[in-house]
Amino acid sequence: MKTIALGDRGLPARIAGEIGRRITLGELKVGEILPKETELLSGLQVSRTTLREALKILSTKGFIEAKPRLGTRVRSPEFWNTLDPVVLAWQGDADDQEALAEELFEIRLAVEPLAAKLAARRGSTTEHGLIRAAFARMAADHETAAAAIEADISFHLQIFQAAHNRFLLPVSSVIRAALTISIPKTLKSFGGLQQSLKMHEAIIDAIELRNEKAAAEAAEILIGATYRRNFTHTSQSAPE
């Protein structure tokens, strides 16, 4: 484990990230007891207070569990707060990136049509305008791939905001992660966002008309098509 300078900002979070990544990579296995505190302090070269704060972060996110006389044990993935953006970042170096990306898309297929439906029902005219503005940025020429990615992400996240469902909002971090993975692949394969603009426009058209059914269907068409482009090995079983 690499040494981290004492002057780094957010040091407990950084230490938690180091240990969290080791867990997601399988270097620290489920059920395994973490190294003793003295060993961790020596390897990380941080204070006891910093280490304990880092372990609290890991515990809060479901990665570890401390038991008296048994030590601190790594918990299984079912306990991890996988919707947390920080936890998603910890999994960024995992070996199964393709599987991770596909699972993120499966979540998109499940929730984005619902978000579009609710945005059509509950979104204000102003919020619909923000979705339309995000679409306009998507349709514009972009100087960089990063600008294109942010425009696309903004479109989808504005829909979640307009849905006005407090339980959907945490899922937006999953949507951002999925888009961050898929859009660069789409840009590389198709040279831009033009291939999907009509499908995006169909979503905002339906939302502005407050046609809930059409909004949900348009979102499902877009995500299904994107799913097939990115996961060709499962194209036969991908939802239509």
What is the percent of the chain with per-residue pLDDT over 90, rounded to a whole number? 53
Residue at 103 is within a domain: yes
Predicted pLDDT of residue 172: 85
Question: When comparing pLDDT for 102 and 188, which is higher?
Answer: 102
228 close to 221: Cβ distance less than 8 angstroms: no
**Residue 163 belongs to domain with CATH number:** 1.20.120.530
Tally the domains of the chain.
Answer: 2
Residues 6 or more apart in contact with residue 216 via CB below 8 angstroms: 113, 114, 116, 117
Q: Taking residues 93-108, report their average pLDDT.
A: 79
Cα 113 to Cα 214: distance, rounded to the nearest angstrom:
10
Q: Say yes or no: 57 and 130 in one domain.
A: no
Query: Tell me: the pLDDT tens digits for 12-49?
Result: 999 999 999 999 888 999 999 999 999 999 999 999 99
Q: Say yes or no: 59 and 166 in one domain.
A: no
Residue at 177 is within a domain: yes
Q: Say yes or no: 109 and 25 in one domain.
A: no
Predicted pLDDT of residue 234: 46
Q: Is the pLDDT of residue 233 over 70?
A: no
Q: Which two tokens mark 73?
A: 């044990």
Q: Say yes or no: 129 and 218 in one domain.
A: yes
Q: Taking residues 202-216, report their average pLDDT.
A: 98
Predicted pLDDT of residue 240: 35
pLDDT-wise least confident of 45-54, 106-115, 147-156, 228-237: 228-237
Predicted pLDDT of residue 232: 65
Q: Say yes or no: 155 and 46 in one domain.
A: no
Cα 111 to Cα 92: distance, rounded to the nearest angstrom:
22
Residue at 61 is within a domain: yes
Q: Say yes or no: 136 and 218 in one domain.
A: yes
Among candidate residues 19, 50, 78, the one where a domain is terminated: 78
Which range marks the domain in which residue 47 is found? 11-78
**Residue 70 belongs to domain with CATH number:** 1.10.10.10
Question: When comparing pLDDT for 81 and 123, which is higher?
Answer: 123
Q: Say yes or no: 130 and 67 in one domain.
A: no
Q: Is the pLDDT of residue 235 over 80?
A: no
- Tokens 């799913």 locate to 227
What is the percent of the chain with per-residue pLDDT over 70, rounded to a whole number? 85
Give all strands (DSSP E) within the chain, no chain letters: 64-67, 71-74
Predicted pLDDT of residue 188: 62
Q: Say yes or no: 180 and 69 in one domain.
A: no
Q: Say yes or no: 172 and 114 in one domain.
A: yes
Residue at 239 is within a domain: no
Residue at 165 is within a domain: yes
Predicted pLDDT of residue 213: 98
117: amino acid identity, one letter: K
Among candidate residues 43, 78, 113, the one where a domain is terminated: 78
Q: DSSP label at 143? A: S
Q: How much is the pTM?
A: 0.74
Residues 6 or more apart in contact with residue 29 via CB below 8 angstroms: 74
Task: Sort 201 into a burial class: Cβ within 10 Å, 0-12 / 13-18 / 19+.
Answer: middle
SS3 109: helix
